[in-house]
Chains A and B, each alone.
Chain A
């Protein structure tokens, strides 16, 4: 069952949340971030080339112009491959674990999988950063002391959705976790 809704992130950009319910115990949430805007790309390229042209006018060395083109290309490729995240996915599978995937604009995907045995809970935390922002995070258990929390792993770090989107995801995840806790106490 698939479902799509539109939300906004903390700086006002449009996000779209796609929810897929595969089974009662397996759900996936996909957040699509706003794409690279042509306006900002043009602005950066023009700035770099104007600076290069200014230096060329001072030094009369044509290497500056070719190196400016080279730098722009390499910088753009590096930005697309290492910085710009297009989509963030959270896959929660009952009694197996939680998987977070970030897809970059160049197609690269980076995945982290956390086993259910290490997960204590999923909560929404508040952070104060020039204003109050909310973020969803996974609390991990300390293997030596099961009651203590050893690590906090934030989710949707580059999409940064607002509270309404987080509440939707939080409710679904809590349903799956409650189901898992019930079966684990039963068995």
Chain B
């Protein structure tokens, strides 16, 4: 098998020395991690390797020699390097060298049994820093195997072994180039430990601050569960209002962010970071909204406009009902039923208008307090808006419920009387339609009722249709607001920012580029990180939203509408489990 030598780009200009790294025999990979320079004591090199191996559980060894002739060709160096092969026995033994002025590289492998030739070695350059920091996200993960699993990656997924080796060998990269240790290494150098006082203070203070905030948040959540359990109507109301759901979700998010446990794996760390950025963005947008609202007394303008708008809506509804009570679209209604239904709904509208006028002096004050809630976040303000819309259109909801119930009763009555008309009945025990012999008077009354219901059907159906359409319109507007809230809640902004600014951190794989080849030289490739596409980033790191989505398919929705069953678009997760 061709031997693949992974060589870090930072060592390409290093002085001559020993190559230190890991040998993976199954794939034929020789992953070079660092170059040890002269002078060195072999015992100390072995001690260093043993120490790093203990810390990282990755088997390190001396893989070969590196010769970079700077000025004149030094034959003595060449012979010295060959002698080292006897000192550090490793099979296969790699000998890399580079000419000073030309870009000529030489590569020789001596392994027992196999003939050594130029075609047997491939040089692959890699950027150590990028490979160290990258997290591989393989495209197809099996359910019983996770990326980053220590035992799995060494055995399969060849290139993942390279990433795993470099990531685990951080102990080797601890020594700085200015350190005066017994062994001098060349490898990736970090920029040094952060020396800013503010950062140190922040790190020191974050511990107690997190503790304080997490205890406060747990107290808040305990309080909310206690109060809600006691007061029944409040619990029911809170489960219906979107604002309470949103506040609960945000509380959970804050608890996650300020929890005192450290994140175990990179996925949890990403989730914490995403949640924090989402909360911060939410609060920033909320404060921007607040400042905009308070700037030119917009709240006053809004409050002044609200009551006339509600009046206008009620007037439009009244006109609609008058139209229905006449001959709508040329259809002829049953006059008596029409008048009854129409007057019933008109009375409701009249009641609603009186309530609105009763509340009108308090509207501005209420709106001002609602506007304050925007400092908790834009999502809270939008949920409040959705709830206010639901409350203001409560009469439409009531009309829809009345119309739907009436229509549903009518349809049920019609279907059972139709069965009677044909001489059948519904067998509840067997859950099927059976034939049945009725008496003459049963048949007579049944047929009469059937005829009455059938001829009253168009009137009820028309009222039902009109109010269902209005209700669907309100539901659609609420749905749009919820979509926006969901977007702010679940968009992983930190991951998207990371993908934009540091694309090598989120890796979907690798890509190779063939570098120019000198004649007789080995094949040289450059390995780069292939970043994850944006769609995969959003899909993998999406935060869980509060789940207020319509869970029905279109066909079941149409079926419910046809039979007059009530549709509940915002069934919360809690209700589903009950």
**Chain A residues proximal to chain B, CB less than 8 Å:** 22-26, 28, 91, 93-96, 99, 101, 111-113, 115, 117, 143-144, 183-184, 187
List A contacts of B122 (CB < 8 A). 25-26, 93, 96
Are A91 and B509 in contact, with the CB atoms below 8 A?
no
Given A95-B28, A96-B4, also A24-B142 (CB < 8 A)? no
When chains A and B are docked, how far (Å) is the Cα of A131 from the Cα of B4?
44
B523 touches A22 (CB 8 A): yes
> Footprint of A on B, CB under 8 Å?
1-2, 4, 27-28, 119, 122, 142, 156-159, 509-512, 514, 517, 523, 525, 530
Contacts of A184 in B (CB 8 A): 1
User: How far apart sit A96 and B510, CA to CA, in the bound complex (Å)?
Assistant: 11
State A117–B119 Cα separation when bound (angstroms): 20
Contact of B119 among A23, A93, A111, A112 (CB under 8 A): A23
Q: Which of A25, A28, A96 has the most CB of B within 10 A?
A: A96
CB distance from B345 to the nearest CB of A (A): 40
Contact B511 A99 (CB under 8 A): yes
A109 to B247, CA, bound (A): 44
- CA of A26 to CA of B461, assembled, Å: 74
Give min CB distance, A169 to chain B, whole Å: 17
Q: Are A113 and B512 in contact (CB under 8 A)?
A: yes
CB distance from B524 to the nearest CB of A (A): 10
Please indicate the chain A residues that have their CB under 8 angstroms from the CB of B157 in the complex: 115, 117
Instruction: Give CA–CA (A117, B158) in the complex, Å.
Output: 8
Give the shortest distance, in Å, between A183 (CB) and chain B (any CB).
Answer: 5
Q: Decide if A183 touches B1 in the complex (CB within 8 Å).
A: yes
With A111-B530, A113-B530 known to touch, is A93 a contact of B512 (CB < 8 Å)?
A: yes
User: Which residues in B have their C-beta under 8 angstroms from that of A28?
Assistant: 514
Pick the contact of B156 from A101, A117, A187 — CB < 8 Å? A117
Closest beta carbon of chain B to A110's beta carbon, Å: 8
* Residues of chain B within 8 A of A111, CB atoms compared: 511, 530
In the complex formed, the residue of B with least CB distance to A94 is: B2
Known: A22-B517, A143-B142. A96 touches B512 (CB 8 A): yes
Q: How far is the CA of A20 from the CA of B512 in the complex (A)?
A: 15
The smallest C-beta distance from A178 to any residue of chain B, in angstroms, reads 15
* Residues on B with beta carbons closer than 8 Å to the beta carbon of A183: 1-2
Taking a contact as CB atoms closer than 8 A, the residue among B1, B159, B514, B517 that contacts A115 in the complex is B159
> Which residues of the partner chain B approach A143 to less than 8 Å between Cβ atoms?
142, 156
Contact A23 B523, beta carbon cutoff 8 Å = yes
Shortest Cβ distance from A181 into chain B, in angstroms? 11
Q: Is the CB of B523 within 8 A of A113?
A: no
With A22-B523, A112-B509, A143-B142 already in contact, 11 other A-B pairs whose C-beta atoms are closer than 8 Å = A24-B119, A26-B122, A26-B523, A28-B514, A94-B2, A95-B28, A101-B511, A113-B512, A117-B157, A117-B158, A183-B2
State A144–B140 Cα separation when bound (angstroms): 13
Contact, CB under 8 Å: B511 / A95 = no
Complex interface: chain B residues within 8 A of A95 (CB): 1-2, 4, 28
CB neighbours (8 Å) of A187 from chain B are 1
One of B119, B159, B510, B512 near A25 (C-beta < 8 A)? B119
In the assembled complex, how far is the CB of residue B520 from the closest CB belonging to chain A, in whole angstroms?
A: 11
Can you name 20 A-B pairs with beta carbons within 8 Å?
A22-B514, A22-B517, A23-B119, A24-B119, A26-B122, A26-B514, A91-B512, A93-B122, A93-B525, A94-B2, A95-B2, A95-B28, A96-B122, A111-B511, A112-B509, A113-B510, A113-B530, A117-B27, A117-B158, A183-B1
A95-B28, A143-B156, A184-B1 known; A113+B509 contact, CB < 8 A? yes
Closest to A28 in B: B514
Bound together, the chains give a CA A187 to CA B2 distance in angstroms of 10
Given contacts A113-B512, A113-B530, A143-B142, contact A25 B158 (CB under 8 A): no
> Which residues of the other chain, B, contact A94 by a CB distance below 8 angstroms?
2
CA of A143 to CA of B511 in the docked complex: distance in angstroms?
A: 22
Q: How far is the CB of B521 from chain A (nearest CB, A)?
A: 10
Which residues does chain A contribute within 8 Å of B514, judged by CB atoms?
22, 26, 28, 91
Q: Chain A residue with minimal CB distance to B528?
A: A111
- The CB with the most chain B CB atoms within 10 A, among A25, A91, A93, is that of A93
Identify the 10 closest CB pairs spanning chains A and B, nearest first.
A111-B511, A187-B1, A95-B2, A23-B523, A113-B509, A183-B1, A26-B523, A111-B530, A115-B158, A113-B510
Q: Select from chain B the residue with minimum beta-carbon distance to A183.
A: B1
Q: Which residues of A contact B158 (CB under 8 A)?
A: 115, 117
A99 touches B512 (CB 8 A): yes
- The CB with the most chain B CB atoms within 10 A, among A26, A101, A143, is that of A26
Q: What B residues does A91 contact at CB under 8 A?
A: 512, 514
A143 shortest CB reach to chain B, Å: 7
> Nearest-CB distance from B523 to chain A (Å)?
5
**Smallest CB gap from B522: residue in A:** A23
A183 to B2: give the CA distance in the assembly, Å.
Answer: 8
Contacts of B512 in A (CB 8 A): 91, 93, 96, 99, 113
Residues of B within 8 A of A23 (CB): 119, 517, 523
- Residues of chain B within 8 A (CB-CB) of A99 are 511-512
Q: Which residues of B contact A113 (CB under 8 A)?
A: 509-512, 530
B130 to chain A, nearest CB (A): 15
A94 to B120, CA, bound (A): 11
In Å, the complex CA distance between A4 and B517 comes to 19
Residues in B whose Cβ lies below 8 Å from that of A96: 4, 122, 512, 525
Instruction: Write out the residue numbers on chain A whose beta carbons fall within 8 Å of the beta carbon of B27.
Output: 117
**Complex CA distance for A78 and B512, rounded to whole angstroms:** 27
Q: Which residue of B lies closest to A151 (CB)?
A: B140
Cα-based distance from A112 to B508 in the complex (angstroms):
9
Q: In the complex, which residue of chain A has the Cβ closest to the Cβ of B113?
A: A187
Measured CA separation A115–B159 after assembly (Å) = 8
Closest A residue, CB atoms, query B517: A22
- Cβ contacts under 8 Å, A112 to chain B: 509, 530
Shortest beta-carbon distance from B109 to chain A in Å: 13
Min CB–CB distance B34 → chain A (angstroms): 23
Chain A's nearest CB lies how many Å from the CB of B271?
28
Contacts of B509 in A (CB 8 A): 112-113
B191 → chain A closest CB, angstroms: 30
Residues of chain A lying within 8 A (CB to CB) of residue B142: 143-144
Give the docked Cα–Cα distance between A113 and B512 (Å).
8
CA distance A2 to B525 in the complex (A): 18
